[in-house]
Amino acid sequence: MASTGVAAVADQVAAEIVESRVVKELRPAMTSRVFLRQAVGGFSTVVSFPLWGDPGAAAAPADDLSEITSTALSDTETSVTAAGIGFRVDITDLAKATTSTDLYSEAGRMVGAALAEKWETDLAALMDDFSNVTTAASTLTGVDVLAAVSALEQRDIPGPFYGYFDPKQTGELRVEIATTAAQYQSGGRDADKVKPFGVDGYWGAYMGLPIFQTSLVVTTSSLVGGAVLNGEDALGFYEIIGAHVETQRDASYKAMEFVGYHVYGFKEISDTRGQTVKSAA
């Protein structure tokens, strides 16, 4: 129901300020966009990702008078469907009036965080789906990470490569660095890998591999399933309506509604361009 009256307008203005803060927070929380291909869509909830096949090597003509024959190019397509997700929190007038904290600001942040968590949950589920797998003997080591990178290279997959791991996996990499090279002294070469973890999801670069981490990585059969993948060709997304939080005053309910909405979809574009990396949970 639309806001009416001076008090409602005042509340709406306050909520709009919260909205502007929340919307700014949503995008950095979804860091994984950096290694995803974004689909360009039209007036449809379904679009396709084209992917060219390998045309092979060039060949020498029989002689100077021979025509260079045309090679037919092949491509594969995979479709992605976008669907909406939502989250809503209502702050009643009584709750707002009897609470010392800024409930509007807190509610807005929680709605935004819920949208970001759903996005990351959907993405993390894809990391465990690549058919090519590197499995650590127990905990994750640098040798395992490099083996995954090498596996991509042996399939002629070009870079850039990115890592996407569970915090347990990145924690094991920290331990290995600290115990083998003692690089965690203040200001040391790898000191950035023990800085407080922020909302951007970026853990750091390990042996040249940019790594993102999330606790939403899938665990199957007591194995955590992260991945090393090619940027923009392994996974993609289609977004019709970006993540945002809106407010609506409901006078009859005596509350301010905080509503989050996002319309998107994820898809594995190429199975060979990703390498699942499993280690003990």
pLDDT digits 0-9 by tens, 65-101: 888 888 888 878 889 999 999 999 999 999 999 999 8
Residue 18: CA count within 13 A, CB half-sphere: 26
The dihedral built from the CA positions of residue 191, 196, 200 and 203, taken in this order, carries a sign that is positive
Q: What pLDDT does residue 192 have? A: 60
pLDDT tens-digit map of 127-163: 999 999 999 999 999 999 999 999 999 999 999 999 9
Interatomic CA distance for residues 163 and 179, integer angstroms? 22
Interatomic CA distance for residues 133 and 256, integer angstroms? 48
Lookup: tokens for 72? 């037919």
- Let me know if 134 is exposed, middle or buried by CB neighbors in 10 A (0-12, 13-18, 19+): buried
The domain locations on the chain are: 6-50+79-280
CATH class of 6-50+79-280: alpha beta
Residues 6+ apart with CB under 8 A from 233: 37, 51, 157, 269, 270, 273
Residue 80 and residue 267 in contact, taking contact as beta carbons nearer than 8 Å: yes
Q: What pLDDT does residue 184 have? A: 45
Lookup: tokens for 183? 């690089």
Contacts 24+ apart (CB under 8 A), 95-100: 96/256
Ranges under pLDDT 70 in the chain: 1-32, 181-200
Can you say how many angstroms the Cα of residue 122 is from the centroid of all Cα atoms in its chain? 8
Q: What pLDDT does residue 239 have? A: 94
The one-character DSSP state at 166 is -
Strands 46-52 and 75-81 come out as antiparallel
Lookup: tokens for 203? 């853990």
Q: What pLDDT does residue 4 have? A: 41
Q: What pLDDT does residue 185 have? A: 41
**Which pTM was predicted?**
0.81
Q: What pLDDT does residue 28 have? A: 44
